[in-house]
């Protein structure tokens, strides 16, 4: 199932492949943020049992991904530095409506779309990256991020009517593609 409105443009792959270490540094941040996002739901929706169960597992898994990316950084001798994030995340956050129950629906769909885009891009890197160990790693992670995309979508269907989920997903997916139409000049996973 493809949830993305528009596929990644070839310019992103060219940019990423010529700055693999920067992509890896940004990727470490993304995995840490993914764990933090999953944790945030646990604090905000402690009574949503199904959500808490699923996202507790997810938070652990994303932290493991963070650790794995760090080990690749270490293997490649990349010195840690904090990168300014691309506007992607903040732009998507702005689309989240502030009142419940809309807020949770939008949050889960945005999380789902971010996982879907990560899945798509990690698969591209798995196919084209010149570092064999990274290729294998990206292929492994791509499968995980695809599963995470479904996890957030299934949660949305758990708590909201199907028609409501589908309509909002369509709107947000268009937005998600819009921001990626202009390539961010700095190489990022979501540039
Ligand atoms: Fe991950
Ligand atoms: Fe993920």
Give one DSSP letter per residue of 75-119, joined into a string. Answer: HTTPPP-PPPPPTHHHHHHTTS-SSTTHHHHHHHHHHHHHHHHHH
C-alpha 28 to ligand 1 mean position (Å): 9
C-alpha 177 to ligand 1 mean position (Å): 20
Ligand nearest to the CA of 61: 1
Question: Mean pLDDT, to the nearest integer, of 99-119?
Answer: 97
Please give the distance of CA 128 from its chain centroid, rounded to a whole number: 20
User: Per residue in 10-30, pLDDT tens?
Assistant: 999 999 999 999 999 999 999
C-alpha 48 to ligand 1 mean position (Å): 23
- What is the spatial distance between Cα 49 and Cα 170, in angstroms, rounded to a whole number? 27
Ligand nearest to the CA of 69: 1
Domain 24-179 superfamily per CATH = Ferritin, core subunit, four-helix bundle (1.20.1260.10)
pLDDT of residue 60: 98
Question: Mean pLDDT, to the nearest integer, of 35-55?
Answer: 98
Residue found under tokens 């997810």: 58
User: Per residue in 47-92, pLDDT tens?
Assistant: 999 999 999 999 999 999 999 999 999 999 999 999 999 999 999 9
Ligand nearest to the CA of 145: 2
Q: How confident is the model at residue 159 (pLDDT cuts 50, 70, 90)?
A: very high
C-alpha 34 to ligand 2 mean position (Å): 6
Q: How confident is the model at residue 31 (pLDDT cuts 50, 70, 90)?
A: very high
Q: Mean pLDDT of all residues in the chain?
A: 96
Ligand nearest to the CA of 62: 1
Ligand nearest to the CA of 141: 1
Strands (E), the chain: none
C-alpha 178 to ligand 1 mean position (Å): 23
8 Å CB contact between 185 and 11: no
Question: Ion ligand 2 — residues with CB under 5 Å?
Answer: 34, 115, 145, 148
Residue/partner pairs of 159-167 with CB below 8 Å, 24 or more apart: 159/48, 159/51, 159/101, 159/104, 159/105, 159/108, 160/101, 160/105, 164/105, 165/105, 165/109
C-alpha 99 to ligand 2 mean position (Å): 26
pLDDT of residue 2: 82
Domain range summary for the chain, segments of one domain joined by +: 24-179
**Does pLDDT of 5 surpass 80?**
yes
Question: Mean pLDDT, to the nearest integer, of 176-186?
Answer: 95
For residue 10, the 8-state DSSP code is H
């Amino acid at each position: 199932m493809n949830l993305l409105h528009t596929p990644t443009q070839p310019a992103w792959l060219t940019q990423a492949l010529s700055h693999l270490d920067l992509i890896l540094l940004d990727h470490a941040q993304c995995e840490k943020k993914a764990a933090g996002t999953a944790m945030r739901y646990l604090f905000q929706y402690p009574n949503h049992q199904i959500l808490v169960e699923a996202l507790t597992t997810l938070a652990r898994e994303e932290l493991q991904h963070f650790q794995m990316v760090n080990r690749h950084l270490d293997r490649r001798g990349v010195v840690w530095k904090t990168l300014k994030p691309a506007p992607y995340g903040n732009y998507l956050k702005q689309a989240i409506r502030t009142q419940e129950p809309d807020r949770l629906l939008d949050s889960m769909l945005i999380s789902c779309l971010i996982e879907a885009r990560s899945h798509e891009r990690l698969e591209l890197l798995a196919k084209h990256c010149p570092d064999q160990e990274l290729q294998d790693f990206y292929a492994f992670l791509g499968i995980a991020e695809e599963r995470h995309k479904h996890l957030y979508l299934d949660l949305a269907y758990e708590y909201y009517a199907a028609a409501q989920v589908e309509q909002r997903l369509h709107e947000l997916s268009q937005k998600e593609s819009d921001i990626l139409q202009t390539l961010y000049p700095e190489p990022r996973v979501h540039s």
